[in-house]
Chain A
Amino acid sequence: MMSVDAPASPAPEAAPPATGATPTRRRRRSLTPWLLIVPTLVIVIAAMGYPIFWQLKTSFQKYGLKQQFNPDLPPDFVGFDNYVKVLTNPDFLAVLGRSILFCFLAAFITVILGFLLALLMKRVGKVARLILQIALLLAWAMPVAASMTVWVWLVDWRNGVLNYLLGKLGLDVEGHNWLADPTTFFVIALIIVIWAAVPFVALSIYAGLSQISEEVLEAAQMDGATGWQRTRHIVLPLIAPVLSIVLLLQIVWDLRVFTQIKFLQDAGGVANATDLLGTYIYKMGVGSADFGSAAAVSVIMLLLTIALSWYYVRSIMKEED
């Protein structure tokens, strides 16, 4: 009664790039699509929508001593007081500055390194490329918590590999705890974050590079363009869209870096001077239960993320048109 062979022949990949294609049928008004998105909406609104609403509300309120002694008392409405308090607090400004500096440094170094590794993958033979790709994939696949236990041990002051290797190089670092000083703490955090992020960036850029026509490059070579000129004037403009998207994603992801900092703080002992936005909010909310200020900082962080993501989301949406 039905043609059995019909579905087998056109594989999903063989279909036209139909992501944005207009589904001509079922254009009629029907309730079905709304019913289909109801479960998504319910879960997302329950788990995120409501907390974000609570957070907005709380950021304009104050939980004072009064409420601590009598939890039934409603909190006082204080307008923008929490924001003013937070934004004039030198501790918070230091954390904010540090977080922004950290995420831009990490993101730019990651993208530059990723780009260089992608070029390297293009440059070497099949076997070397495969070795490099497998190494990157394995590093990428590591769960953050698992890789952090290894990193904490590698930089351990008693018998970590880092101090051993530096000692071999003739440096007197025996028993030196790199996590005790905020500067070296962040250098190590930066290395770990970049190590984890480079594989995604390098492999994405490599995929972009593979789409550049060999003919164009060879024609340029015939015309006397040097390797650097070819990279600068042909390769870079062609993969600029990929570069900007991965850079943007990295900035947004590095702004929220939490797990790495938490593990290093646990291992190192230094506290406040190594906080970034995530750990700062965590301490404020869980440690000192200052919900008004914690909510204000959270709202600032969310707004920052939305501002940074806007271009990315728009560029993805454009393909939908």
Chain B
Amino acid sequence: MSATTSARRSAGTTTVRKPKVSTGRRVSGWLWTLLAVAVALCWIFTVYWMVNSSFLSTVTLQKSTPTWLPFGGSWDNFKNIFADGTFVKALSISLGVTLLTVLVAIVVAFLGALAISRFRFKGRKSFILAMLLIQMLPAEGMFIAQFKMMASWGLVNNILGLTLLYAAAVIPFTLWMLRGFVAGVPAELEEAALVDGLSGTQAFLRITFPLLAPGLVASAVYAFLQAWNEFTIALVVMQDNDVRTLPLWLRGLVQASATRETHWCLVMAGSTMVAVPVIIFFMIVRSKMSSGLVGGAVKG
């Protein structure tokens, strides 16, 4: 890790580019650019294909030749998706679970983040270690037990039950993310406010809290994305069609598509509806999230 730190320190200095470029180099430069664009197309194709197809009709999509551009497209698929009650139902379930999860996770994780960044206490290290390990545990290694527990508490097919499982799944990382933001606000600022005659609570509310707002937003968006996209736990715990979240609803659309006719244009419109809010939110918090994941090794 020391290597990267020293590299980072000297990275600030700029060097003068040599102006002379040979033709051979220029040609290879173009080749690299072409390669970069080709790779970009490979990665974006899935996203493009989803949006493109969501504007086309079933008849168009059933042709043996793919339709590459959405000419002659319409918003019909989106209208049909909304007219179909199952999407609206799943949307409301997803929104309910997601917002509840965000609320619980942010409040709880924020308190925890305060504890580990503003206090030294016995057991602090073990607590951090436990949070980091829990964050790595796969839902697949616990979901049968979680289902049994939910069943014995009568919380299967219940939004509150799913919220509890989601909150527990996102709190460790949210706490870890927020800890970085809380530590970024120097305690001296609060101390100065205390000297100026504010009470501890006042100093926190007026000085620290406003500085933490960006961190809280980023963590909230992280929790939102996790709960909104989650599939595995929902599949186990939400078994009634009435309480399906959006990912489960999408699965229902493509299930058994090998044997029965699937209206891909509707599926793609549905996927687009699920993905668009995520893509927007994701762009907001991307850099903050990844720097939390890879720790000090990368300052993204």
Contacts and interface: CB of A to CB of B under 8 A. Distances in A.
Does B associate with A?
yes
A253 B251 CA distance: 21
A141 B278 contact: yes
Contacts of A16: 186
A22 interface: yes
B55 to A, nearest CB: 14
Given A23-B120, A48-B137, A241 B297 contact: yes
Contacts, number: 415
B132 A313 contact: yes
A96 interface: no
A218 B271 contact: no
B138 A301 contact: yes
Contact of A124 (B13, B33, B183, B232): B33
A6 B50 CA distance: 50
B69 interface: no
B168 interface: yes
A295 B112 contact: no
Contact of B119 (A11, A33, A213): A33
Contacts of B191: 25
Given A2-B197, A37-B111, A256 B127 contact: no
B108 A266 contact: no
B141 A46 contact: no
B275 interface: yes
Interface in B200-215: 206-207, 210-211, 214-215
Interface in A132-154: 132, 134-154
A246 B64 contact: no
B234 to A, nearest CB: 10
Given A6-B189, A19-B183, A198-B43, A44 B254 contact: no
Nearest to A29: B121
B105 to A, nearest CB: 9
Q: Name the residue in A19, A134, A139, A149 with the highest tally of chain B Cβ atoms < 10 Å from its Cβ.
A: A149
A93 interface: no
A19 B180 contact: yes
Contacts of B107: 39
Interface stretch (A75-83, A84-92, A104-112, A156-164): A156-164
A177 B258 contact: yes
B222 to A, nearest CB: 13
Given A52-B145, A138-B279, A259-B231, A195 B120 contact: no
Contacts of B181: 12
B167 interface: yes
Interface string A253-280: 0011011001100111100000001100
Given A256-B138, A291-B148, A36 B112 contact: yes
Interface string B34-62: 01110111011011011001000000011
A6 B190 CA distance: 10
A210 interface: yes
A44 B172 contact: yes
A12 B278 contact: no
B145 A55 contact: yes
8 contacts: A2-B196, A44-B134, A44-B171, A132-B36, A142-B275, A211-B8, A266-B254, A267-B256
Given A15-B184, A147-B271, A156-B257, 20 more contacts: A2-B206, A12-B214, A18-B184, A40-B108, A40-B109, A40-B111, A47-B146, A132-B37, A142-B47, A145-B247, A153-B254, A153-B264, A208-B297, A256-B138, A267-B256, A281-B143, A291-B148, A305-B137, A309-B136, A316-B132
